[in-house]
Structure 1
Amino acid sequence: MDLPRSFTIRESGHRIHNPFTSEKLATLGRALGLAPGTSVLDLACGSGEMLCTWARDHRVTGTGVDISTEFLTAAHARATELGVTDRVAFRHGDATGHVADEPVGVAACLGATWIGDGAAGTVELLRRSLAPGGIMLIGEPYWRREPRDQATVEGCYATTKDDYRPLPELLELFGRLGCGVVEMVLADQDSWDRYVAAQWLNTRRWLDAHPDDEMADEMREDLATGPVRHVRYQREYLGWGVFALMNR
């Protein structure tokens, strides 16, 4: 049970596995006004950057769950580096259906709402772990601009236009789910660049070190087409943000 190898190759040097910079992640933590001791559950936590930095900066405690053994190794190393191993823990497993042992003050899924078969299902999953008055964090893509054709849709890693919603419609969905949106921090084109362009460098370095690997041809093709695809489609049409929700 693990992520596809191509994904971990592209993001092998990433601490944050979505189009957020460390500055935006810090902005989100400050915006929430987290009290020391707040418990956090982070589903599909990746390399644990949110939990580790918030444990350092806001003295939260928490648990991260992720399917990637490689990313969890990085999460444990980051917790040690920041001196927060007494406040955070990481579990290897499929976050789909995972519910905290005890209710938490913050339940999060940033950029992996496939664990709930979409945003609506992920909200319902996070609710099962949330303490009364707690906050859910959902990281989700949305259309910045109406896609002009099917090539644009596919260039943004979607199958149909309906795979994503415009930002107003995404917030309306949260409302229909019985949630109030109480905060949001949105990625911008620069943070998209930092996320995606770093994948190109990771891939190139991996190819230089593993030119005869069975995945080398696939990764060469990915590197050859990825930069133009990003600037033509993803950078222009696709937004991404983290939305803080509370039950109404």
Structure 2
Amino acid sequence: MDIPRIFNISESAHRIHNPFTPEKLAMLGAALRLKPGAHLLDLGSGSGEMLCSWARDHAITGTGIDMSALFSAQAQARAEELGVSDRVQFLHADATGYVAPEKADVAACVGATWIGGGIAGTIALLSQSLGEGGLLLIGEPFWRKLPPTEEVAQGCRAGSIADFLLLPDLIGFFATLGYDVVEMMLADQDSWDRYEAAKWLTMRRWLAENPADAFAGEVRAELDTAPERYARYGRDYLGWGVFALMPR
């Protein structure tokens, strides 16, 4: 059980596996007004930076679940580095269908709504683990402007234009599901650049260290195309944000 190998390679040096900088992640934690002792469930927790840094900064506890064996190990190491390993735990597991044994104060899926088959399914799944008065966190792409063609959408790593919504429509969609948007934090162009461009150096160094690896051809192909694709398509059209929701 693991995620596709290209992500384990290209994002192996990332602490945050989405287009947020540490500063934006810290701003989001402050904006949510987290109370000491609150418990956060994070489905698709990656390398654990959100749980670990918020446990350090806000004295919360948390449980993270991720399919990547590498990222799960990095998360545990980060918890020990920040001195919060007694307050957070990380499980290497498939979060699909996961419901926590005890209710959480915050239930999050930041950038992995495939876990629930899309936004609506992920919200429905998270809501089963959320305590009364708690917050849901959804991290999701949106169109900054509609791509003019399906080719442009695919250049943004979408399957089609219909895969994502414009930001006002995304917020409106949350309302149709019965939720108030009570806070949001959006990636900006600089934070997108840091997320995407950091992959390129990681892949180049991996290729230098693993020239005989059977997967080297796929990494080489990704490195050959990713910088131009991002500059031509993703940088102008694709947005991303984390949205805090409360049921109406």
Q: TM-score range by the shorter chain?
A: over 0.9
Deviation string 1:187-225 (CA, Å, 9 cap, x unpaired) is 011111000000001100100000111111111111111
Show the counterpart of 1:96: 96
Using the TM superposition, give the Cα deviation of residue 128 of structure 1 relative to its aligned residue in structure 2, in angstroms.
0.3
CA distance in 2, matches of 1:137, 1:35: 16
CA distance in 2, matches of 1:65, 1:150: 34
Show the counterpart of 1:184: 184
Runs of 4+ that moved beyond 3 A? none
Show the counterpart of 2:235: 235
SS for the counterpart of 2:98 is: coil
Using the TM superposition, give the Cα deviation of residue 171 of structure 1 relative to its aligned residue in structure 2, in angstroms.
0.5
| One-letter identity of the residue aligned with 2:217 | D
Show the counterpart of 2:141: 141
CA distance in 2, matches of 1:240, 1:152: 17
Deviation string 1:43-101 (CA, Å, 9 cap, x unpaired) is 00000000000000000000000011100110010000000011000111111111111
Deviation string 1:164-189 (CA, Å, 9 cap, x unpaired) is 00001101110011100000000011
Using the TM superposition, give the Cα deviation of residue 227 of structure 1 relative to its aligned residue in structure 2, in angstroms.
0.4
Deviation string 1:124-172 (CA, Å, 9 cap, x unpaired) is 0110000000000000000001101122110111111110000011011
Unaligned runs of 5+ in 1: none
Using the TM superposition, give the Cα deviation of residue 34 of structure 1 relative to its aligned residue in structure 2, in angstroms.
0.3
1:6-85 residue pairs with structure 2 within 5 A?
Answer: 6-85=6-85
CA distance in 2, matches of 1:150, 1:172: 24
CA distance in 1, matches of 2:38, 2:16: 21
CA distance in 2, matches of 1:76, 1:159: 33
CA distance in 2, matches of 1:17, 1:99: 23
CA distance in 2, matches of 1:123, 1:82: 30
SS for the counterpart of 1:211 is: coil
Number of equivalenced pairs: 248
CA distance in 1, matches of 2:184, 2:208: 40
| One-letter identity of the residue aligned with 1:38 | A
Using the TM superposition, give the Cα deviation of residue 233 of structure 1 relative to its aligned residue in structure 2, in angstroms.
0.5
CA distance in 2, matches of 1:176, 1:159: 24
CA distance in 2, matches of 1:218, 1:83: 38
Using the TM superposition, give the Cα deviation of residue 2 of structure 1 relative to its aligned residue in structure 2, in angstroms.
0.5
Show the counterpart of 2:124: 124
The alignment's C-alpha RMSD in Å is 0.6
CA distance in 2, matches of 1:214, 1:123: 39
TM-score w.r.t. the length of structure 2 is 0.99
Show the counterpart of 1:207: 207
CA distance in 2, matches of 1:55, 1:142: 29
CA distance in 2, matches of 1:148, 1:201: 31
CA distance in 2, matches of 1:20, 1:215: 28
| One-letter identity of the residue aligned with 1:35 | K
CA distance in 1, matches of 2:150, 2:39: 43
CA distance in 2, matches of 1:186, 1:101: 31
TM-score w.r.t. the length of structure 1 is 0.99
Unaligned runs of 5+ in 2: none
